[in-house]
Amino acid sequence: MKPVTLITGASAGIGAELARVFAAHGHELFLVARREDRLIGLADEIAAGGRPRPAVLALDLERRDAPARIATELMARGLEAANVVNNAGFGLSGAAADLDRDEQLGMIDLNIRTLTELSLAFVDSLARNRGGILNVASVVAFLPGPGMAVYYATKAYVLSFSEALHRELDGRGVRVTVLCPGPVPTEFQARSGMRVDRVAKLLALPADGVAQIGYRGFMRGKRVVVAGVLNRLAVWLLPLVPHALLLRVLGGRRRTQARS
C-alpha cells in the first residue's frame, strides 16, 4: 500500500493551500471535496510542478457513508492514509433559531461527524507510517458565537476532541494537531453569509500563510497551532474576559454586521 496524505476540502481556500504545502514537502496526496473539476485542476497543477499526481475523489462529506466510501476508495487504489487532514467545513451566519435547521445539522455532520470518523478510522495506518491528524478548527473555537452559534460550537468540539486525541494517540506515535486560523479570505465568507468587518480585516491572514503555519506546527508535533501573532494574543487574553461581557460584545458586533 502506498502511503498518502488525505486532505478534505482541497478544492478551495485553506485546503487547496494545504495540498500545495504537503505536496511541496514530498507527500503524496489523496484529495476529497465535491467539486471534481477543481480537484483535477489542482492535481494537474501539482503534477506539472514535478510532484506525484494526487489521487482525487469527488464526494459529499455530509453523507453518513462518506468515511466508508473513502476507506473503500483508498483500498481499491492501493493506498493507505499516512496523514489525515480534516479541513472541509463551513459556517452559517444568522440566529440559530432562524437559520435552516437541516443546513445547520448538515454543518454538524461535516464539521463534527465526518471529522471524528476520519480521525478515528485510519489510526492503524497512521501509526504504521508514523504520521498523524491535522484538524482545522478556528480561533472561534475559544468563544461562544451568538449570530453563528452552531458554527462556533462545532469548532469548540474540534478543538476539544483534537486536544484529547493528541494525548490518547501520543503513545502510539500518532501526532494530532489542531490548527486554529483567524479570519482568512476564502470562499468561506460568501458561503456563510458573513460580512468582513474591520476587526476581521485586522486579524486576517492569507490562506497560503495559514497552510504553511499549520504544516510546520503539525510536523513539529504541536498540539494547538493558532495562526498569527494577533490571533495568538487574542486567544491568550480571552479567558480573562467574563463570558457575559463577551456575549454582549460579540452579539452586538453580529447585529451591526447584519444591519450593514
Ligand X SMILES: NC(=O)c1ccc[n+]([C@@H]2O[C@H](COP(=O)([O-])OP(=O)(O)OC[C@H]3O[C@@H](n4cnc5c(N)ncnc54)[C@H](OP(=O)(O)O)[C@@H]3O)[C@@H](O)[C@H]2O)c1
CA distance 30 to 81: 9
Q: Are 83 and 126 in contact (CB under 8 A)?
A: yes
Residue 235 burial (CB count, 10 A): 18
CA distance 142 to 217: 19
* Segment 178 to 217, residues that bind ligand X, using CB under 6 A: 181, 183-184, 186-188, 191
Would you count residue 62 as binding ligand X (CB under 6 A)? yes
Nearer to ligand X, 38 or 69 (CB): 38
Which single residue brings its beta carbon nearest to ligand X?
13
Three-class SS state of 172: coil
CA distance 135 to 225: 10
Nearer to ligand X, 146 or 228 (CB): 228
* Segment 69 to 108, residues that bind ligand X, using CB under 6 A: 87-90
**Using CB under 6 A, which of 3, 9, 132, 146 touches ligand X?**
9
Measured CA to CA in angstroms, residue 111 lies from 9, 20, 25, 136 at distances of 11, 22, 27, 9
Would you count residue 159 as binding ligand X (CB under 6 A)? no
Pairing verdict, β 29-33 and 2-8: parallel
Residue 160 beta carbon to ligand X: minimum distance, rounded to whole angstroms: 15
Q: Collect all residues with Cβ–Cβ distance below 8 Å to 136 and sequence separation of at least 6.
A: 14, 15, 85, 86, 87, 89, 158, 178, 179, 181, 214
Residue 181 beta carbon to ligand X: minimum distance, rounded to whole angstroms: 4
Residue 62 beta carbon to ligand X: minimum distance, rounded to whole angstroms: 4
- Number of residues located near ligand X, criterion CB under 6 A: 28
Would you count residue 138 as binding ligand X (CB under 6 A)? yes
Residue 152 is among the residues annotated as catalytic for this protein? no
Nearer to ligand X, 10 or 82 (CB): 10
Q: Collect all residues with Cβ–Cβ distance below 8 Å to 152 and sequence separation of at least 6.
A: 140, 141, 143, 144, 145
User: Contact region for ligand X (CB under 6 A) — 31-39, 97-105, 213-221, 245-253?
Assistant: 31-39
**Using CB under 6 A, which of 60, 163, 197, 208 touches ligand X?**
60
Residue at 28: amino acid letter: E
Residue 76 beta carbon to ligand X: minimum distance, rounded to whole angstroms: 19
Nearer to ligand X, 99 or 127 (CB): 99
Q: Are 163 and 118 in contact (CB under 8 A)?
A: no
**Using CB under 6 A, which of 2, 24, 25, 35 touches ligand X?**
35
Catalytic residues, by residue number, are 151
Per CB under 6 A, residues contacting ligand X are 9-15, 33-35, 38, 60-62, 87-90, 110, 136, 138, 181, 183-184, 186-188, 191
